Amino acid sequence: MAAARCEKAGFDGVEIHGAHGYLICQFLGTETNRRDDRWGGPLENRARFLLNIIDRIRQLTSESFLVGVRISPEYNQIGVVMEDSLDLVDLLAESEIDFLHISCWDCFIPPTHSDDPRMVTEILAERLANRLPLISCGAAWSTKHAQQIMGQGADLVGVARAAIGHSDWASHLDNLDYDPQRPPYTTEHLHSEGLGEKFIEYMRNWKDFVE
């Protein structure tokens, strides 16, 4: 299994990608999972695929090997909704993972289909109740953004676009006024940050990221 090979290669852990509409996320979604057996229907069944992956990784790796899970709390187009994600948090907290990573796309907007006006991170952090370390990711650009996300209850802040555009992003967070340039970026700038041509071409798929 891939996780066992990662440990053999010297990695400290793996993160299971259960977000963004990929296979695990499709099992969790009510629109994509139409099965009528033990793998579909109620959340406990739809989450079985993910939970079995966790169990199998734990069987094949050492106790010190870190295992985390990334989920999309909401992915409405395939039927992943906040209500189910809150229950999934409980299932994951009872499993043998070391951290939970939530992909919010934008940590500063409330859930799409919920009467709760709070941000997604705050809602899930309350449900998690410190049972696992929580990473939250989505639209963090500045030091103040990172502080706000941690104020919502995250233990760690995940970044993608900001770190792609500024590979030294984390080293600036001791500056409370740090607020780096946003996209679009020139190809010259991206080359200077260490991106190769194929990665730059891929990033053209993201609207207004590359000039």
Which residue, 192, 183, 191, 188, is CA-closest to 210? Answer: 183
- What residues form DSSP beta bridges with 71? 18, 102
Kind and range of the H or E run holding 157:
strand 156-158
Q: Which one from 22, 75, 178, 202 is the annotated catalytic residue?
A: 22
DSSP tag of 180: P
Residue 22 annotated as catalytic:
yes
Which residue, 169, 144, 174, 150, is CA-closest to 159? Answer: 169
Whole-number Å distance between alpha carbons of 11 and 143:
29
Whole-number Å distance between alpha carbons of 151 and 63:
31
Active site residues: 22
